[in-house]
Amino acid sequence: MEHGRVAGKPKVVFVLGATATGKSKLAIALAERFNGDVINADKIQVHDGVPIITNKVTEEEKAGVPHHLLSVVHPDADFTAEEFRREAAGAVARVLSAGRLPVVAGGSNTYIEALVEGDGAAFRLAHDLLFVWVDAEQALLEWYAALRVDDMVARGLVDEARAAFVGDGTDYSRGVRRAIGLPEMHAYLVAEREGAAGAAELAAMLDRAVREIKENTFRLARTQAEKIRRLSSLDGWDVRRVDVTPVFARKADVGAGDDDDTWKKLVWEPCQEMVRAFLEETTPRPAAAGGDAGVVVASAATAPDVAIAAGAGDATANTIII
């Protein structure tokens, strides 16, 4: 597909969002639809190792879409925001030179800001950018994030943490070991290795570790959302907020129906149209002056009543009602 250009600038799509909001799913779908590659912007997933704990997409989930900067750094190595800026800019250039659309996706907003605004905002000035912010009401997001942690445990989180465990002196401040899910397992794995704790005590320690993983995930999600709100207020950032709360509401409403169908109607279809229009633009859009991000929201009639209230979010500008 030949993408339009604004004032000669090549186009790049960013998919922002807190953990567990569905960034990867949307980024892959957009790349698949618009002949693109996904460029990972998650500072933990850039490291090799522990794919369950770091929630890396599987080969099946990639759906044949090329991915860049995923599992390319040694597990113990540091990878700074400046290193990401250089590597990501290079990846974007290679994708564009192949005539494809770069879709930058990840939850490490410090990395994304370094790419966009670093080196005197060279990247932002050289490209036409669209930022799609996948967001959800906090209570429902935390409900789903907890469910996802339980699924990670079922898929082998404990075994993966055990295999990565190097002992009492483990440094959790570097590399992939900063990932939520490894430091929280430390006390349990030490007790298990020493063999002094009984089965009941070990079970209690594991339950405590899983609770800590969930709590730290919730804290991360709140921090990520706060950072994206700040980025949305920066000049030159065209951020469109997409409310996925109805998708989580559908998941929470047992027996309500297929949440994939809800995602398709309320997330995918408007996002596909948004990106299509962006790619076809050949005249400059008015420069963003900061303030609230644009928002795509679902009609209240589409979100079922559930025990956990589903809010509509707080962004109000440029609202598209589905």
Check which CATH number belongs to the domain holding 28 and give it. Answer: 3.40.50.300
Q: What is the pLDDT of residue 285?
A: 67
Average pLDDT of span 295-302: 41
HSE-CB of 178 using CA atoms within 13 angstroms: 15
Q: How far apart are CA 48 and CA 46, in angstroms?
A: 7
Give a yes or no: residue 15 inside a domain. yes
DSSP state of 267: I
Specify if 254 maps to a domain. Answer: yes
pLDDT at 212: 98
Higher model confidence: residue 69 or residue 301? 69
| pLDDT of 104 over the 90 cut | yes
Helices assigned H by DSSP within the chain: 23-33, 59-62, 81-97, 109-126, 138-155, 157-164, 186-194, 199-232, 245-252, 259-263, 269-280
5 assigned to some structural domain: no
Domain that holds residue 57: 11-142+219-321
Range in 38-52, 249-263, 306-320 the model is least confident about: 306-320
297, 322 in Cβ contact below 8 A?
yes
Backbone angles phi, psi at 128, to 5 degrees: -95, 120
Average pLDDT of the residues of the chain: 88
For residue 225, being part of any structural domain is answered with yes
306 versus 266: which is more confidently predicted?
A: 266
| 115 within domain boundaries | yes
pLDDT per position as a tens digit, 198-239: 999 999 999 999 999 999 999 999 999 999 999 999 999 999
Whether 176 shows a pLDDT value over 80: the answer reads: yes
Are the C-beta atoms of 251 and 291 separated by less than 8 Å? no
pLDDT confidence of 293, banded at 50, 70, 90? low
Does any domain span residue 202?
no
Residue-level pLDDT at 304? 34
DSSP labels for 157-212? HHHHHHHH---TT--TTSGGGGSTTSGGGHHHHHHHHHT-S-HHHHHHHHHHHHHH
User: Which pLDDT score, from 0 to 100, does residue 309 have?
Assistant: 29
For residue 100, being part of any structural domain is answered with yes
pLDDT band, very low/low/confident/very high, at 313 (cuts 50, 70, 90):
very low
Distance between CA 91 and CA 94 in Å, rounded? 5
Residue type, 134: V
Tell me if 248 is assigned to some domain: yes
- For residue 169 the two structure tokens come to 């002196």
- pLDDT over 60 (residue 48): yes
pLDDT at 292 over 60: no
Instruction: Provide the pLDDT confidence category of residue 168 given band limits of 50, 70 and 90.
Output: confident
The predicted-structure confidence for 130-149, as pLDDT tens digits, reads as follows 999 999 999 999 999 999 99
> How many distinct structural domains can be found in the chain?
1
Q: Residue 286 has what pLDDT?
A: 61
Four-CA torsion 47, 53, 59, 65, nearest 10 degrees: -60
Farthest-apart Cα atoms in the chain, separation: 69
Q: What is the pTM of this model?
A: 0.87
